[in-house]
Amino acid sequence: MDCKTVQSKLRAQADQSVAEHSRRFFKTGPGEYGEGDRFLGLRVPLQRKIARSHQTLPMEETERLLQSEFHEERLTALFILVYKFEKGGNQKREAIYRCYLRNLEQVNNWDLVDSSAPKIMGPYLEQRDRSILYRLAKSNNLWRRRIAMISCMHFIRKGDFEDALNIARILRDDTHDLIQKAVGWMLREIGHIDIKVEEQFLKENRYRELPRTLLRYAIEKFPEEKRQAYLSGNM
C-alpha cells in the first residue's frame, strides 16, 4: 500500500461544490490566512473513514500524503498519524512526533492543527521537556503559535495547567483572532476543571484589557450574570 492508494480513494469522492464551500470557509483568498490552499471537496467524516481503513499505511507513505498540496489529503494523513500514535509504542510514537515536527509547514490551517496537536504533541511531551512549545508560541508563524496553545489541551485534561497558563500569557496580546480564540478556548477548558484558576488568570491579566474575542471564548460557559459582568468590566 502506498499514498497513491489513499489519494485515489479521496479523489474519487471529490465534489467541486464542497470544494468551493471549503475554499470560502477556510479563507483561501488573497491575504487571508489560508491563501492559496487547494481543496478536493470531501467531508471530514469520509476522510476519517478512509484514514481508519488505511492505518497500516507505512510511515514514509503517510509522510508523503502529508506533503500533498490538497488540504483533505493532509488532514487524512494527520488522522492516520493520530491513529498510529494512539496504538503505537514508544519507538513508534517517537517516529510520529519527529515526522510531525518535520512537516509543521503542512499543518497550516486551524482544523489541521486542532485535529493533531493535542493528540500528538501533547501526549508525546507529557513526560518530557516542553520547551519546544514556548519556542513555537514565540514564532512569527500563525499555525505554530496555535499548535503551541492547542497542544496544551492534553495537559489541561490531565489537570496540569502550568504550561497552558504560561503560553496563554505569551499569546494574550496576539492580534490574530485565531490565536485569541485558541487562548480563550484553552482557558475555558481550564475553567471546566477549576474555575478559580481561570478567574485568577483573568484577574491577573487585567481581563478588561484582554482582546475581546479571547475574553468571550474564555467566559462562554460562565453563568449569564457573571459573563455579562465580565463583558461590562464590572467584576
Q: Which domain holds residue 183?
A: 129-235
Residue 12 burial (10 A CB sphere; 0-12, 13-18, 19+) = exposed
* Partners of 70 in beta bridges: 38
Give the predicted TM-score (pTM) of the model. Answer: 0.96
Higher-confidence residue of 210 and 1: namely: 210
- DSSP symbols for 62-106: HHHHHT-SBHHHHHHHHHHHHHHHHH--HHHHHHHHHHHHHTGGG
Contacts of 85 (CB under 8 A, 6+ apart): 92, 93, 96, 97, 119, 120, 123, 124
Give the CATH number, domain containing residue 136.
1.25.10.90
Q: Is residue 116 part of a domain?
A: no
Q: Is residue 124 part of a domain?
A: no
In this structure, the answer to whether residues 68 and 18 fall within a common structural domain is yes
Give the tens place of pLDDT for each residue, 13-56.
999 999 999 999 999 999 999 999 999 999 999 999 999 999 99
Q: Is residue 117 part of a domain?
A: no
In this structure, the answer to whether residues 31 and 100 fall within a common structural domain is yes
pLDDT at 40: 97
Q: Specify the residue for cell string 460557559.
A: 221
In this structure, the answer to whether residues 226 and 161 fall within a common structural domain is yes
pLDDT at 235: 77
* Partners of 38 in beta bridges: 70
- Here the cell at position 34 is 489560508
Kindly indicate the confidence band of residue 138, based on its pLDDT and cuts at 50, 70 and 90: very high
Identify the H or E element spanning 14.
Answer: none
How many domains in the chain? Answer: 2
In this structure, the answer to whether residues 15 and 83 fall within a common structural domain is yes
- Here the cell at position 88 is 503505537
Contacts of 172 (CB under 8 A, 6+ apart): 183, 205, 210, 211, 214
Longest dimension (CA), the chain: 61
Kindly indicate the confidence band of residue 222, based on its pLDDT and cuts at 50, 70 and 90: very high
Q: Is residue 119 part of a domain?
A: no
pLDDT above 90 for 233: no
In this structure, the answer to whether residues 150 and 102 fall within a common structural domain is no
Q: Specify the residue for cell string 488573497.
A: 30
Q: Is residue 49 part of a domain?
A: yes
Helical residues (DSSP H) of 172-223, grouped into ranges? 177-193, 195-204, 212-218
Give the tens place of pLDDT for each residue, 165-206.
999 999 999 999 999 999 999 999 999 999 999 999 999 999
Give the tens place of pLDDT for each residue, 45-102.
999 999 999 999 999 999 999 999 999 999 999 999 999 999 999 999 999 999 999 9
pLDDT at 88: 92
pLDDT at 56: 94
In this structure, the answer to whether residues 141 and 98 fall within a common structural domain is no
Mean predicted lDDT score pLDDT of the chain: 96
pLDDT at 202: 96
In whole angstroms, how large is the CA radius of gyration of the chain? 19
Indicate the residue type of 75. Answer: L
Q: Is residue 114 part of a domain?
A: no
